[in-house]
Structure 1
C-alpha cells in the first residue's frame, strides 16, 4: 500500500478455460525459436531493471510536509509519483507524508508549540499558500534561519476584491481602469461600499489584502494607508477567513458589501450560488502582492535532523522538476513565469511592519477557559476533526487549537469544574493566566493534555456557581485596552448541583457588569437554551461546537 491506496491483483482468471483436445494451431519452428529468444531477453531485461530498482530496503521512512489546503491535494499527488520512483537514501526507502494544515496554523506551530494531536508530526518541510507567511517566519530573530533551501514556487492566486456585479458596474470598476486602493477607501468612507475583510492573523486572503492595502506603492509600507484600511474595516466588518466572509455575505444579501478574497474563491462562490447578481473579481491598481504558494525545507529548525532535511530537499527537487515540466498543476493556482519576481513580492521587513501595525491597532485578548470535567463529558461521543471522541476530549482539543492560534501578547488561563473539584468548591484553577509566548503556549497545552488524562468528577455539572466565580475573578483582573472573555466548554448546560437556577445565574451575571464577555460552547447534546441565556447575560454568545474548531475567530478582537 502507498498512501493508503491498495493495489489489488486478481488471483483467478475470469472467463472460460480452453477445453483440452481442441483444435491445434500449427506454428513454424523458426517462429517458436524467435519467440522464445524474445521472451528470454525480455525476462533478462526485466530482471536487470528490478535489480537496479531494488536499491532500498526495509520499511519506508517518510518525513512530514505541512501543506496549505489549496496545495495539499497536488502535493499529495506529487508525493505518490515520487514514491513510485523508489527514492532511497543510504539504502533506506524514503518518501514524504503530506498533511493538510492552514498556513496560519502551521506558522503558529512552527514558531511555538506544534499541535500534534490535530496536525500530526512536526513538519520537516512547509508549503504555505502565500510566500508572505514565509516572510513572517523569517522576520523573527529566533526563526530567521529555519528555511535552508531556495523555495520551490508552486503557483499563484491573485488577491482581489469580490464585488457584486451591479455594484462594480455602478462604481465604474468594470470595463475600464480598475480603482486604486485609495479609490476603494474613499468609496468605503463615503458609504458607497461596506468593506468586509478577512483577518490577516488567520487567513491568507486577509494577509495579502493587508499587504496590498497598506503598500506605499514601491514595495514598502505606508502607515497612512494602513490606517485608512483599518478605518474602512472598522466601519464595515471582518471575519476569520474567506469561508466566514462568504457565509456572512450570503446571509446578508447586501450588494454593497465588498470582500477581500482570492480569485479562485470568487469562482467557487459563484459556482455554488444561484444569485442573479454574481460576484466579480476586482484587482485594484497598485496590487503588488499575490498568494504565491511555495515549498520550503525547514532544515534550520531544532527538531529537523540533517537526514530528514535531505529527504525533504530531495522531494523538493522532484517537485521543482514537475513544475518545470508542467506535470505539477493545481486548479486553484496559475503558473508563475518569473519566480524571482514572485518571491520578491514580499520581504520580512515589509510583512513585519504591516502585521505589527495591524496588531497594535487591535485589542489584546485575555481568555479564561472554563472546562466542564464532570462525568457527563465522558458519557457521550461527538465528532471533532474527523474523529469520534468523548465530548471532554473534543473540548480539550478545541482549547488546545485556540491556544495555538493566540497572539503572544494575549493571556489565557484554565479552570475546571465538577462536584468537589476544589474541595469545598466545585471549581479550581488549573493554570493561572499567562502570556501566550512560545513557553506560555507550551505550558498551557501541557496542562490541557494532562487534564484529559485525569478522572472526571461524579455528581452533576455545577456550571452556574462556577461561571459566577470565574466572572468575578475575571472582572477583578480586567484591564483597559483588552477584551476579557470566559469560554465555557461543555456538553451539558443543565446544573442540578448549584443552588441558583439558570435565570437567577443570568441575573447575577447582569448585575456584576464587570466588562467580561461569556461565550458558551456546546458539544453534542448540550442544553443550548440554557447556554444561550448565560452567554447573553454575559454579553457574549452561544456557539454550537463546530467539528473543525475555529472558535477563536468568533471571539477574538479584529
Structure 2
C-alpha cells in the first residue's frame, strides 16, 4: 500500500505557461494602445485649447462710432464677444467709443490726442460716407478698405410741434425759394432753415445737396458750376438766420427749448431720423418732442458706413478683426439690434417704440448721392457763398517736377474758380527766378471772385513750369501779402499746392518767424511722396491750417474741395 501512495505522490498535473503569457501580452498591447490613444487625444485637445485660448494673447479692436448709434454698436460688440472670436491666434475684444465724426477726422489727419479722445481707433463708424470721402481726400492711406453701410437713416426737418403739420407738402428743393411762413398760410413771419456748417454736420450737407439736385440727383461737377446752381446757393446763403448753431445737436436743443415757432431764431433744422429719435428719447429730452417731417420727393439718406482704418498703427490682427466684425454687424440678428437703436435695415421693419416725434414714414425714393469728388466741391461751393465767402490765396508749385501734373492742377483750379459763388480769390506761382530773382510771382491779386473770374481763368491757363522750388521764400512773400489784405469777419487762408521740398532761399526757421499766428491759416495739398511732410505739418500747425496728402494728382480736386469746405 505504501508503494501505491508513493506512486500517486509523484504524479502532478499543472496549467501550461504559454497560454498565460499570450493573454498577458495581449492585455499589455491593449493597455498600451489605450494609453497612446488617450495621450494623443489629450495632446490634440491641448493643441486645440492652445489655439482657442489665444497663443498670441489678447487683442483689442477699437471702434469709434458716431454718438447716435454708439450704444447699439456696443450691444452688437457684446454679442460678438460672446462668440469668443479668435483672429490670428488672438482673442479679440471690441472696444466701442462714442465720438463725434469731426473729432475723429481731425484726430486721424493731424495728431491723435489720447487724453481727449482715448486711444486711436482701428475702425470708424460715422453717420455718412461723406466722412470717408473727406478722410480719403486728406490721406487715402488711412482708409483700409472700402466703406460698407450697416444701416441707413433719412434726413428729416426737425420742427416744433405746431409747425410740423403745415409742412407736409414741403420739398427740399423749396429751401432756396421759401422765405416766409405765409407760403404755408401762417403768420409766423420769416421761414428759415438753420444749417450748421455742412463740413461738420452731415444733415446740413445732405440737405444742401438735395436742394441743388432739385429732384432725384445726382449733383455733378458740371451742374454745380452752372449759373442756376450758383443762384440757388446764393439764395440759400441769404436765407441763413443771423445766428446758426455750430452743431445739429445744439440746433435741436434750441428748437426744443422754444415755446413758440421761430422763438429759437430759426424755424426748422435738418436732422437724421436716428439723431432726432435719440434727441427726443435721451437723458436731455425736451418736455415737448420735436417732430420729424419727411419732405416730399427723393430723400437724402445717411448711410452709416463701417470704415476699417489703415496706417502704421493698425496691425494685421486688427485688420482681420475689423473685417470680421464688419461682417458680423450685417447679419440679421445684429441688424435687429441696430434697428432697435433707430437705424433702418433691410432685414427687418421693426422700429423702436415708443418714439415720440418720429413716425418712421416710408421712404419711397432715395436721392442719388453725388460722387466723392463732387461731394467735396459742394461743400466748398457752399463755403464760398455762406456769409460772404472766404478769402483764399492759392500758391501753386510750377517747378519742373510738376510738369506731368500741371494739366490736372489747372483743371482743379479752374473748377474751383468757376464754382465759387462769392468771396475772394487770388493766385500766385512759385519755382525759382520767376520774377527776376524772385522765386514767386503774384499772378492775380486776391479780390472778389465775381470781378476777377476771367483774369483768374487766364492766369491758370497760362501756368507753365520752371526750374527750382523755393517754397519757403515764396510762401513768406505770399503770406505777407495775404496778411496785409486780411478781411475781418471772414475766413482767410493760404492754400499751397506742391509736390516737393524747398530747395533754396530762406529756411524753415526763417519762414516760421514771419508767420503771424492762427488767424490766417496755411493749408497744404501735398502730391506724391517727395514732400517734406514733417515741415509742412509744422507750418500748418503753427497757423491753424492742415496738410492733405494725395498719392497722385488725380486726388487733387477732392482735396482742394475738402480744404476749402470748412468755415473755420
How does the TM-score come out when normalised to structure 1? 0.52
Distance 1:68 1:122 in 2: 15
Matches within 5 A, 1:176-195: 178-188=169-179, 191-195=189-193
Within the alignment, does 1:284 sit opposite 2:295 as a pair?
yes
- CA drift of 1:164 comes to 2.8
Deviations 1:459-506, CA, capped at 9 Å, x for gaps: xxxxxxxxxxxxxxxxxxxxxxxxxxxxxxxxxxxxxxxxxxxxxxxx
The answer to whether the Cα contact below 8 Å between 2:301 and 2:367 also exists between their aligned partners in 1 is no
In the alignment, the residues of structure 1 paired with residue 131 and residue 318 of structure 2 have an alpha-carbon distance, to the nearest angstrom, of 22
1:3-42 alignment runs, 5 A limit = none
Q: How far apart are 1:245 and its partner, in Å?
A: 1.0
The aligned counterpart of 1:293 is: 304
Aligned-residue offset at 1:442: 5.4
1:355 aligned residue: 379
Larger Rg: 2
CA contact (8 A) 2:153 2:273 kept: yes
Q: Which residue of 1 aligns with 2:239?
A: 232
CA contact 1:132–1:208 (8 Å) conserved in 2:
no
From 146, 151, 161, the equivalent of 2:147 is 151
Distance in 1 between residues matched to 2:347 and 2:567, nearest whole Å = 39
C-alpha distance in structure 2 between counterparts of 1:149 and 1:201, whole Å:
23
Shift in Å, 1:100: 1.8
SS of residue in 1 equivalent to 2:329: helix
Alignment of 1:73-92 (within 5 A): 73-92=71-90
Separation in structure 2 between the aligned mates of residue 306 and residue 49 of structure 1, nearest angstrom: 23
Find the aligned partners of 1:61 and 1:84 in 2 and give their Cα distance: 15
Unaligned runs of 5+ in 1: 1-43, 367-406, 412-427, 449-555
Equivalent residue in structure 1 for 2:97, among 99, 102, 106: 99
Matched-pair contact (CA < 8 Å) for 1:164–1:255: yes
**Counterparts in 2 of 1:120 and 1:164: CA distance versus 1, 3 Å:** closer
Higher strand share: 1
SS of aligned partner of 1:194: coil
- 2:284 matches 1:274: no
1:309 corresponds in structure 2 to 319
Contact 1:263–1:281, Cα closer than 8 Å, also in 2: yes
Asked if 1 retains the 8 angstrom alpha-carbon contact of 2:332 and 2:347, the reply is no
Structure 1 equivalent of residue 531 of structure 2: none
Residues 150 and 324 of structure 1: CA distance in aligned 2, closer, same or farther (over 3 Å): farther
Check if 1:246 corresponds to 2:252.
yes
Q: 2: distance between equivalents of 1:360 and 1:238?
A: 17
**Cα distance in structure 2, aligned partners of 1:327 and 1:132:** 24
Measured after TM superposition, the shift of residue 201 of structure 1 is 2.5
Distance 1:364 1:115 in 2: 29
State how far apart, in whole Å, the 1-side matches of 2:320 and 2:134 are: 24
Number of residue pairs aligned between Structure 1 and Structure 2: 341
**Contact 1:322 1:328 (8 Å CA) reproduced:** no
In the TM superposition, what is the alpha-carbon distance from 1:213 to its structure 2 partner? 2.5
In the alignment, structure 2 segments of 5+ residues that lack a partner are 1-41, 182-188, 349-364, 393-490, 496-512, 525-533, 544-565
- Please report the RMSD computed on the Cα atoms of aligned residues, expressed in angstroms: 4.2
Is the contact between residue 210 and residue 367 of structure 2 (CA under 8 Å) also seen in structure 1?
no
| Offset at residue 66 of structure 1 (A) | 1.6
